Homo-oligomer: A and B are copies of this chain.
């Protein structure tokens, strides 16, 4: 790496600098995560309980206590298409705000699917392929995860079935077309293809669906077919581990910038982009480094303000029980444009760290006016159009930068733009009245 150079707009790394190992924070948690419980027996589950759903390598990673997990060369070969992603110094935004803060953003919108989600989708598709799985089922809400897995399955020659929350399926035809272009089969959830879907449709034929219901459908699909495993795009430990590419690159890029973050911000629904961005830095915080972490959430689903207890990951109570911050697995949540933030529970890893006081949270009102107005300031100064979820990260970062303007502090503020918003422009129109 060249010497620190403070004058640049973007900090790029070479494709040789894509991490060769993922960081697994379980090795640094001091006391281990609470066990995952079987929904029937209430006892801790073993690998065989998860075998119908996941390939064995991912089950191992889920409970691994190894600090570093080798990234297979076949996975890095795909990541090379867009990784390392750039870290930007938001010089134009700083100027527009008139803040002494130094603002940086990592930009995951450069991936072909347009978000951070392919970081784990590619890994999951690879391990499934390696263990001779030929078909993967999953759910998607806003569509970012379904897009990522569809692409990953296309790369490894796997079939992919996506249960897409019905309201999204209807409102976002482009997302469906995108997944189908990569070769996936996409159905609106609740669907008549599963018992879980049928049950909901019997009670309410016009159900708009929810992420919880779609998870139930995808899990049932995998559990009842020999050729199929299930894939989840957030919440689980192995997902967050795969996402640490983001934070590991960011660490090197900050070396390159000759700075270090005082505040790290990202939006949080299930936790995959927040975790990927912050876990390598949270490890340093565990060891005493002074960094403030803020999860930007929606008041529609302020799960980090919920209870820290065991709960299901899905609506129909088919998944194991996870110890996490939760609003209750059947909680009603107001629809918002940042749909990816609308999930009842937070990943067990981040929940534990929150429980230990390492993660702050803010929940923005469901009218989303503040969030989209802040996002527009970013769009007009930095150019890039963020996904509605990423708009929450931006709003929080701008709020913090304006506090620095008041206090005169030149804090280093880093946030993650988890995806672009090209396919979500109706959010801008509705909220900003365009």
A289 to chain B, nearest CB (A): 29
A105 to chain B, nearest CB (A): 12
> What separation, in Å, do the CA atoms of A151 and B380 have in the docked complex?
7
B379 in contact with A181 (CB, 8 Å): yes
- On chain B, the residues within 8 Å of A383 by CB distance are 78, 81-82, 111-113, 151, 155
A374 to chain B, nearest CB (A): 13
> What separation, in Å, do the CA atoms of A176 and B432 have in the docked complex?
13
Q: Closest residue of chain B to A383, judged by CB? A: B112
A183 interfacial contact with B, CB 8 Å = yes
- On chain B, the residues within 8 Å of A429 by CB distance are 173, 177, 180
Q: Mark A392-434, 1 if CB is under 8 A from B, else 0.
A: 0000000000000000000000000000101101101100101
- On chain B, the residues within 8 Å of A111 by CB distance are 383
Q: Which stretch from A4-12, A39-47, A304-312, A314-322 is at the chain B interface? A: A4-12
Number of interface residues of A (CB under 8 A): 47
A377 to chain B, nearest CB (A): 11
Q: Mark A70-106, 1 if CB is under 8 A from B, else 0.
A: 0000000110111000001000100000000000000
B426 in contact with A174 (CB, 8 Å): yes
B384 in contact with A112 (CB, 8 Å): yes
> What separation, in Å, do the CA atoms of A14 and B176 have in the docked complex?
36
> What separation, in Å, do the CA atoms of A423 and B111 have in the docked complex?
16
A286 interfacial contact with B, CB 8 Å = no
A174 in contact with B425 (CB, 8 Å): yes
Q: Which of B110, B181, B183 lies in contact with A428, CB distance below 8 A?
A: B181
A159 interfacial contact with B, CB 8 Å = no
A262 interfacial contact with B, CB 8 Å = no
> What separation, in Å, do the CA atoms of A300 and B389 have in the docked complex?
40
A9 in contact with B174 (CB, 8 Å): no
Closest A-B pairs by Cβ, 4 of them: A112-B383, A422-B422, A174-B425, A9-B80
Given pairs A12-B15, A180-B429, A181-B434, 20 additional interface contacts (CB within 8 A): A8-B15, A8-B80, A9-B80, A10-B15, A10-B81, A112-B382, A112-B384, A113-B383, A154-B379, A174-B423, A174-B425, A174-B426, A177-B429, A178-B385, A178-B428, A181-B379, A181-B385, A181-B425, A183-B380, A423-B423
